[in-house]
Homo-oligomer: A and B are copies of this chain.
């Protein structure tokens, strides 16, 4: 069971329930372009690979094949790898597709060293690492800009994977290597402040996935002396945050995000603060899908804050409920009745899920109708504990409950932004992190009984 949980850990990008439309968002490769100091083509979704001529394909093969071979000295192979890397960066999306097809073909014919199996007895790792594909990626990694290039390459591979099935094996090997190279033991936790380089802060604006950063003034407010922002960095990419969390301090557990984002609000008095509120967590690297930092980041930040601000005793999130309205709209009449329970049935009228969702959208903001509020909160609680297989249905709940947190409180009118209203009827939820309860909470989750406060359980 826990195995399963581990394996199905929320994918890196599920933390960002509202990733902006990839067509309009500045793409990862555009950012690499800046990073590398030279223009880089952006693949476009839906592009078709533009077939290479036989001669070109043959040239590509000649470049790639030595890169997969094992030679202790490999001047020629490294030059070939460098050359392939440069061609790849200069290519547009359709050509990249074609280059990936050749890569997949060459990679498919590669294998592990023939003599590895027996020697190492019970361990599979030496044999797996002796695989020619592993050697290929390690060769790329050793080039200048190698690591960020591999992240860009994997971003593309994930994009093209469905169209080029032979990429699967390559992707599995690359994900394995990246999970080692980005092992949390190798990462550095750094605080980001208003004294950080502007070029770094600009990335927060781009990457922030939960509550959009509207301006530099908004950003400055989030980095004020009554806030904290922490990120993990890889030592070979020192100006590229991998994941970051924004923290506010409050005397009480925060119940709405408007106040937290209000640039005009007075500074919190840190002497009186008892709660640290994680109000935004954003992953940044699509190329690291499947490699998870979030759980570890939160625990490291809790340790840091315990040491620096001993008066802060309690830790909670203020989190979106991204799938609630969409889930409700899919409910038929009977399901809705079941979910609303007896006290809710009366308030439902004849609505099915879609009709109720429409009613909530049409209501004032936030709806003044207490019955409607009570019904919506009851349904939201029901949604938060809904499962898909053994795991919570909601991506954010899956992440925090999977970390061992507890569902603490539903907050009405907590996010009045357009996104908040359309996704979750303006509700948000607090998940509480108590270090000593995390293991138990997780054990209960694997038995199908997620941890929750009395207040929330009463809604069920």
Q: Which residues of A contact B (CB under 8 A)?
A: 2-7, 9, 69-76, 108, 112-115, 120-129, 131, 133-134, 138, 141-143, 146-147, 168-169, 172-173, 175-177, 179-181, 183-186, 188, 194-202, 216, 220, 235-236, 239, 295-296, 299, 402-404, 435-436, 438-439, 441-442
Contact = CB atoms under 8 A, between A and B. Distances in A.
Smallest CB-CB A-B distances: 5 pairs: A235-B235, A141-B185, A73-B404, A125-B176, A123-B172
5 contacts: A3-B115, A6-B70, A112-B124, A129-B176, A216-B216
A375 to B, nearest CB: 33
A194 B198 contact: yes
Nearest to A127: B124
A184 to B, nearest CB: 5
Contacts of A133: 123
A71 B404 CA distance: 10
Contact of A403 (B72, B180, B216, B239): B72
A71 B2 contact: yes
Nearest to A2: B71
Nearest to A295: B72
Contact of A108 (B122, B177, B198): B122
A73 B123 contact: no
B180 A6 contact: no
Nearest to A133: B123
A3 to B, nearest CB: 5
Contact of A147 (B131, B185, B196, B202): B185
Given A125-B134, A134-B125, A168-B121, A142 B72 contact: no
A214 B363 CA distance: 40
Contact of A72 (B127, B220, B442): B442
Contacts of A114: 3
Given A177-B125, A195-B197, A199-B194, A71 B185 contact: no
B75 A436 contact: yes
Given A112-B124, A181-B186, A195-B198, A73 B129 contact: no
Contacts of A176: 123, 125-126, 128-129
Contact of A129 (B142, B179, B200): B179
A367 B173 CA distance: 58
A218 to B, nearest CB: 12
B180 A181 contact: yes
A72 B9 contact: yes
Contacts of A138: 183, 185
Contacts of A441: 73
A393 B31 CA distance: 50
A3 B70 contact: yes
A131 B123 contact: yes
Contact of A73 (B173, B236, B438): B438
A120 B167 CA distance: 11
Given A71-B2, A71-B442, A183-B181, A122 B169 contact: yes
B6 A71 contact: yes
Given A2-B72, A129-B176, A181-B181, 13 more contacts: A4-B115, A71-B439, A72-B404, A75-B299, A123-B128, A123-B131, A125-B173, A126-B176, A141-B183, A141-B184, A195-B198, A198-B216, A198-B220
A455 B180 CA distance: 48
Contacts of A113: 3, 7
Given A70-B2, A295-B73, A124 B131 contact: yes
